Amino acid sequence: MASSIATDTPPPPAPASAQRRKQSTGRAGDKIFLGLSRGSGIFLLVVMAAIAVFLSVRAGIAISKDQGNFLTTFDWDPAGTPPVFGIAVLLFGTVVSSIIAMAIAVPIAVGIALFISHYAPRKLAAPLAYVVDLLAAVPSIVYGVWGALFLVPYLGGLNDWLDQYMGWTYVFEKTEVGVARSMFTVGILLAIMILPIVTSVSREVFLQVPRMNEEAALALGATRWEVIRLSVLPFGRSGVISASMLGLGRALGETMAVATVLSPSYVLSLHVLDPGGGTFAQNIAAKFDESNQLGRDALIASGLVLFVLTLLVNGAARMIIARRKEYSGANA
Amino acid sequence: MAKRIDVSGLSAYYGAHKAIDDISMTVEPRSVTAFIGPSGCGKSTFLRTLNRMHEVTPGGRVEGKVLLDDENLYGSAVDPVAVRRTVGMVFQRPNPFPTMSIFDNVAAGLRLNGKFKKNELADVVEKSLKGANLWNEVKDRLNKPGSGLSGGQQQRLCIARAIAVEPDVLLMDEPCSALDPISTLAIEDLIGELKERFTIVIVTHNMQQAARVSDRTAFFNLSAVGQPGKLIEIDETERIFSNPSVQATEDYISGRFG
């Protein structure tokens, strides 16, 4: 209402308002800041639109020339005649390696975050938090090299053990003899890489649990673990979900570390200990240099799918958080 | 059930700072005892020593004895967690578990104490909510979150949660200071009913409230800011408010300080 009234009233005579503008020193600053912030917002939209248009156009060209089904084909041969390529293996590999990474990293990260925020003595908590943050500063290619030269040879024993005792689950059955350049190894490596972000965001959330929520549990005769179960975890739940999604975003898009460790193949297999498979990002990195025009467009099309996948993951996370809003600590 | 509290020579510290000095008093079972006194006089700290909540504050430390009937709460073999299961507490601001339903809030303490059959649990929850005069207002929405209630309802929910585990003593730390007068009245009426079953200790800044709800009143004071708080006197509420034996008490009650 107020704004419509303001626009309905005739503007004051121009000279008077110009006069006022000159007198008020704040006006110029306001205008510049408004311009800057509006400009930044528009710039962001333009960049996003440019990326989306570029990806869609190039992807469209590639998919129209694809002689296989883009979604279900296993092969990646855009240079062949006829060109046949599909993302089935890449999508599967990306999702599987990320699931493995999340399954390993999230519980450990929550554990570390709880230890730092609620168990560790202060003298230990600060250095420990620092070391975890330091993990985030390691470049991903260094993780890749470490994974290839350390994890791959040393994981053989663990793989044999899993095969022997968990082989009946099918997933951990090993059908090929060979070094552990497998999805499982990639998952472990990705888990280590996303550990710092999940840990530090979770830790911050756990530290923000209101004192009175924890005292509510304490006064009922809760032990330290019960305080965490009754007060800390419910309060931190949506924060941990957001933290996990940040980690998942990184795991989905991780390129160099995966490309260095995995021995890629266009085989779709649920045996995660067997070498082979591929991910979107790893495939783009591996193929980009050797590809022709159509090959590059095909890679861009696969990149678009990764983009959409990440978008869906984020949307799902938001939905989970929003559904729990009624129960969240925010309105306490 | 309702037990006598016998405190002797109790001092509490925050790190090197002594917050309360050498307090001794007796609280009779099935009575309401009010703690009054200026801010910073240590009455809340003292209250929190009665269920060993003081020591969860970093640097919190206690010297002296608190006997619950004949058991020393600060005995070397006593588990503070077990103490808090027998001495319930209601806080200044209502603090229901925000993510839990009304039912689960009341059942929380019972579930900590061990296994309950579903219908037993429902019985205790109903009894506790009735005991807190909240049942009629929430019986149709037991599965809704507790944080959706009004402030006064939330505070009665917290009281229901505290009495569900049948504690020996119920401590209340300014339970009405965040509530409007009508909700306050509801809580005060409730205190009158609860004292039939529990030993109640209440900290309040509201002297009319102390006069209305309590049988005995303890006046705390401190000689200067930074000095430890002390118990000045404890007596029948009527006496404290009509003819206290210490001049400082009369000055405080009549609004003359220092």
Is the ipTM of this structure higher than 0.90?
no
List pLDDT tens digits, range A165-203: 888 888 888 887 777 889 999 999 999 999 999 999 899
List pLDDT tens digits, range A96-141: 999 999 999 999 999 999 999 999 988 999 999 999 989 888 999 9
Q: Does B158 touch chain A (CB under 8 A)?
A: yes
CB-CB under 8 Å, B56 with A221: no
Is the separation of the CB atoms in B87 and B50 below 8 Å? Answer: yes
| Shortest Cα–Cα distance, B159 to chain A (Å) | 11
C-alpha distances in Å from residue B144, one per residue of A82, A220, A244, B214 = 61, 21, 28, 34
CB-CB under 8 Å, A230 with B147: no
Is the separation of the CB atoms in B194 and B163 below 8 Å? Answer: yes
Give the mean model confidence (pLDDT) for residues B183-200.
92
CB-CB under 8 Å, A220 with B97: no
* Confidence label for A68 from pLDDT (cuts 50, 70 and 90): confident
Structure confidence at residue A2 (pLDDT): 41
* Confidence label for A331 from pLDDT (cuts 50, 70 and 90): very low
List pLDDT tens digits, range B48-72: 999 999 998 888 999 999 999 989 9
Give the mean model confidence (pLDDT) for residues A159-168.
87
Residue B222 has pLDDT above 80, yes or no: yes
Mutate to test the interface with A, among B45, B99, B113 (most CBs of A within 10 A): B99
Give the mean model confidence (pLDDT) for residues A35-44.
95
Mutate to test the interface with A, among B57, B97, B155 (most CBs of A within 10 A): B97
The alpha carbon of residue B149 and the mean position of all alpha carbons in its chain are separated, in whole angstroms, by 22
Amino acid identity, position A203: R
Give the mean model confidence (pLDDT) for residues A285-303.
92
Question: Which residue is closest to A121 within chain B, CA to CA?
Answer: B58
| Shortest Cα–Cα distance, A1 to chain B (Å) | 31
Which positions in chain A touch B100 (Cβ < 8 Å)? 234, 327
Give the domain ranges of chain B.
5-253
**Cα gap B68→B16, rounded to integer Å:** 28
Which positions in chain A touch B99 (Cβ < 8 Å)? 234-235, 237, 324, 327-329
Question: Which residue is closest to B48 within chain A, CA to CA?
Answer: A219
Structure confidence at residue B257 (pLDDT): 62
Which positions in chain B touch A221 (Cβ < 8 Å)? 81-86, 109, 112-113, 165
Q: Does B178 touch chain A (CB under 8 A)?
A: no
CB-CB under 8 Å, A215 with B95: yes
List pLDDT tens digits, range B135-175: 999 999 999 998 889 999 999 999 999 999 989 999 999 99
DSSP of chain B: ----EEEEEEEEEETTEEEEEEEEEEE-TT-EEEEE--TTSSHHHHHHHTTT-GGGSTTEEEEEEEEETTEETT-TT--HHHHHHHEEEE-SS----TTSBHHHHHHHHHHHH----HHHHHHHHHHHHHHTT-HHHHTT-TTSBGGGS-HHHHHHHHHHHHHHT--SEEEEESTTTTS-HHHHHHHHHHHHHHTTTSEEEEE-S-HHHHHHH-SEEEEEEESSTTSPEEEEEEEEHHHHHHS-SSHHHHHHHTT---
Q: Which of B53, B93, B99 sits opposite A327 (nearest CB)?
A: B99
* Confidence label for A22 from pLDDT (cuts 50, 70 and 90): low
What are the residues facing B169 on neighbouring strands? B87, B199
| Shortest Cα–Cα distance, A103 to chain B (Å) | 25
Residue A25 has pLDDT above 70, yes or no: no
List pLDDT tens digits, range A254-288: 999 999 999 888 888 888 888 888 999 999 999 99
Question: Which residue is closest to A122 within chain B, CA to CA?
Answer: B58
Residue B176 has pLDDT above 70, yes or no: yes
Q: Which of B84, B98, B100 sits opposite A219 (nearest CB)?
A: B84
Structure confidence at residue B118 (pLDDT): 81
Structure confidence at residue A330 (pLDDT): 44
* Confidence label for A27 from pLDDT (cuts 50, 70 and 90): confident
Structure confidence at residue A105 (pLDDT): 96
* Confidence label for A220 from pLDDT (cuts 50, 70 and 90): very high
Mutate to test the interface with B, among A117, A119, A220, A229 (most CBs of B within 10 A): A220
Structure confidence at residue A332 (pLDDT): 37
CB-CB under 8 Å, B96 with A216: yes
Q: Which of B88, B95, B97 sits opposite A234 (nearest CB)?
A: B97
High-pLDDT (> 70) share of chain B, %? 98
Provide the chain B residues 74-113 that lie in CB contact (below 8 A) with chain A. Answer: 81-86, 88-89, 91, 93, 95-100, 108-109, 112-113
Residue A18 has pLDDT above 70, yes or no: no
Q: Does B57 touch chain A (CB under 8 A)?
A: no
- Nearest CA to A251 among A320, A309, A166? A309
Q: Does B175 touch chain A (CB under 8 A)?
A: no
Give me the helix-helix angle, B118-131 and B151-164, nearest 10°.
130
Q: Would you state the structure tokens that stand for residue B69, as one six-digit string?
A: 């009937």
Which positions in chain A touch B60 (Cβ < 8 Å)? none
Q: Does B23 touch chain A (CB under 8 A)?
A: no
* Confidence label for A19 from pLDDT (cuts 50, 70 and 90): low
Residue A23 has pLDDT above 70, yes or no: no
* Confidence label for A329 from pLDDT (cuts 50, 70 and 90): very low
Which positions in chain B touch A324 (Cβ < 8 Å)? 99
CB-CB under 8 Å, B84 with A234: no
Strand order of the sheet with strand B17-27?
A: B71-72, B60-68, B5-14, B17-27, B229-236, B216-222, B32-36, B199-203, B169-173, B87-90
List pLDDT tens digits, range B78-132: 999 999 999 999 999 999 998 899 999 999 988 887 767 888 899 999 999 999 9
Structure confidence at residue A244 (pLDDT): 92
First to last CA, chain A: 33
**Cα gap B99→A233, rounded to integer Å:** 10
What's domain B5-253's architecture? 3-Layer(aba) Sandwich (3.40)
Tokens 């994890």 identify what position?
A: A151
What are the residues facing B5 on neighbouring strands? B27, B68
CB-CB under 8 Å, A329 with B91: no
Question: Which domains are present in chain A?
Answer: 84-331 (1.10.3720.10)
Structure confidence at residue A6 (pLDDT): 43
List pLDDT tens digits, range B4-15: 999 999 999 999
Tokens 């009575």 identify what position?
A: B31
Q: Does A235 touch chain B (CB under 8 A)?
A: yes
